[in-house]
Amino acid sequence: MVKQVQNVKRNTFENLEAPDYVWKSGKFIPWDKATFHISMLGWSSINMVFEGIRAYYNENDDQVYVLHLNEHLNRLTESMKMMRMHPYIETEKLKEVILELIRKNKYKADTYIMPLAYFGDGPPGFLPSGDRLGDMAITVKPIDSLLTSDNTLNVGVSSWRRISDDVMPPRIKSIANYQNGRYAAEEARINGYDQSLILNSKGKVAESTYTCVFMIKNKTLITPSVTSGILDSITRKSIIEISKNELGLNVEERDVDRTEFYVSDESFICGTGGEVQFIGKIDGYTIGKGTPGIISKEIQTLYHNLVRGLDHRYHHWRTPTY
Ligand code: PMP
């Protein structure tokens, strides 16, 4: 029996349904058996790196398409290199393991895939202990997509600054880096905002919480550059690609002031988990009419059709699971 889980309502990552199997240290193992000893708590995740990957279920094709699998695994390899961690398995093999894990869990649903790479033993994580083999675990869980939603976010500029390349390199997708986004997310929650806009050490816009940001002014798509304190986002790259090639938009990657966002015609956030979500307000300033902008909606729809394979172009974005 294949699990048809796409209609079950789940709104938060915490609410996600547990899979039957995960993969750890070379083996597929049942969820309940995937445990660590209490002594692993603490320093074990200080140098942990990971990826967040989405797969989309296409009902017509009865297929689960993993989005940008190669790009995510390349970024994971680069994160491991920066951690001086030798990969537990080769990328090609890892690709196979991820697809097999989705099949083993019989998922025919939108799915979130999270490979984690870490030093599983040896000296405490705060000691220099790299240039050795890392261990690896992978979890998968069903997740809802927001790509047909017209919800608009109420965003506030955070008082926290984004980490920078000379302190905690944001290019590395490491668990430790997420404390920065969490401070901003907590501040947003306390102040009644849905999300925050985080400035970098120069006071220019970097990104939102766990997502990159775009604004549109006079039909030009503008986003902070990859050296402005952002994670080098795969979704951001895809949005730039389709906006240029399919929608004919001019794209500028550069330093962006917060006030440019205040007076933008449209703005939105994007990411693998965050997908494409519209911004309605920033610091109380209404963006456009406060509703989804026409160009942003076009981008969201095109992105959705491509990632789910409803639009058959850009087939290199999608790796079929079955
Ligand atoms: N910034 C941060 C801090 C993130 O965690 C993410 C999500 N991975 C993004 C940006 C968006 O990156 P991507 O499009 O590759 O998911």
Confidence of residue 262 (pLDDT cuts 50, 70, 90): very high
Q: Output the domain CATH number for residue 270.
A: 3.20.10.10
Q: What is the mean predicted confidence (pLDDT) over 267-272?
A: 98
Identify whether 243 is part of a domain: yes
Most distant CA pair in the chain, distance:
56
Instruction: Please state, in angstroms and rounded to a whole number, the distance separating the CA atoms of residues 265 and 248.
Output: 17
Are residues 157 and 303 both part of a single domain? yes
User: Can you state the angle between helices 69-82 and 91-104, rounded to 10 degrees?
Assistant: 120
Are residues 86 and 192 both part of a single domain? no
Identify whether 276 is part of a domain: yes
Question: Would residue 33 be called left, alpha or beta, if left means φ above 0 and alpha means ψ between -120 and 50 degrees?
Answer: alpha
Number of domains forming the structure of the chain: 2
Q: What pTM did the predictor assign?
A: 0.95
Whether ligand 1 lies within 6 angstroms of the CB of 233 is answered as yes
Tell me which of 124, 142, 160 is where a domain ends. 142
Whether ligand 1 lies within 6 angstroms of the CB of 52 is answered as yes
Please check whether residue 157 is in contact with residue 282, taking contact to mean a CB–CB distance below 8 angstroms: yes
Q: What is the mean predicted confidence (pLDDT) over 99-127?
A: 93
Identify whether 318 is part of a domain: no
Positive/negative CA dihedral, 277, 306, 228, 85: positive
Structure confidence at residue 15 (pLDDT)? 54
Are residues 81 and 205 both part of a single domain? no
Confidence of residue 122 (pLDDT cuts 50, 70, 90): confident
Whether ligand 1 lies within 6 angstroms of the CB of 235 is answered as yes
Please check whether residue 322 is in contact with residue 63, taking contact to mean a CB–CB distance below 8 angstroms: yes
Whether ligand 1 lies within 6 angstroms of the CB of 195 is answered as no
The tokens 């076009």 sit on which residue?
A: 298
Continuous segment of H or E residues that includes residue 23: strand 21-24
Are residues 171 and 277 both part of a single domain? yes
Are residues 300 and 163 both part of a single domain? yes
Confidence of residue 38 (pLDDT cuts 50, 70, 90): confident
Q: Cα dist. 52→55, 66, 140, 230 in Å?
A: 10, 11, 10, 16
Beta strands in 88-241 (DSSP E): 111-118, 132-133, 135-142, 152-161, 195-199, 205-208, 212-217, 220-223
User: What range does the domain containing 292 cover?
Assistant: 152-307
Q: CB under 8 Å to 14, separation ≥6 — which residues?
A: none
Pocket test for ligand 1, best of 75, 235, 268 (most atoms within 8 A of CB): 235
Are residues 102 and 168 both part of a single domain? no
Are residues 156 and 133 both part of a single domain? no
Are residues 181 and 103 both part of a single domain? no
Q: How many residues does the chain have?
A: 322
Tell me which of 122, 142, 162 is where a domain ends. 142
Are residues 161 and 288 both part of a single domain? yes
Are residues 135 and 180 both part of a single domain? no
Identify whether 319 is part of a domain: no
Instruction: Please state, in angstroms and rounded to a whole number, the distance separating the CA atoms of residues 217 and 200.
Output: 22
Query: In this structure, which residue's CA is closest to atom 12 in ligand 1?
Result: 233
Whether ligand 1 lies within 6 angstroms of the CB of 210 is answered as yes
Ligand 1 centre from 190 Cα, in Å?
23
Are residues 27 and 98 both part of a single domain? yes
Q: Output the domain CATH number for residue 93.
A: 3.30.470.10
Are residues 134 and 170 both part of a single domain? no
Q: Which of 236, 275, 276, 274 is nearest to 253 (CA)?
A: 236
Identify whether 314 is part of a domain: no
Query: In this structure, which residue's CA is closest to atom 9 in ligand 1?
Result: 211
Identify whether 316 is part of a domain: no
| 3-state SS class at 155 | strand
Identify whether 4 is part of a domain: no
Tell me which of 112, 142, 172 is where a domain ends. 142
Q: 38-42, 168-172, 183-187 — which is least confidently predicted? A: 38-42
Q: Which of 236, 229, 190 is nearest to 207 (CA)?
A: 229
- Residue 295 scores a pLDDT above 60: yes
Question: For the chain, how are helix, strand and coil distributed in percent, rounded to 5?
Answer: 30, 30, 40
Query: In this structure, which residue's CA is closest to atom 13 in ligand 1?
Result: 233
Confidence of residue 11 (pLDDT cuts 50, 70, 90): very low
Ligand 1 centre from 196 Cα, in Å?
14
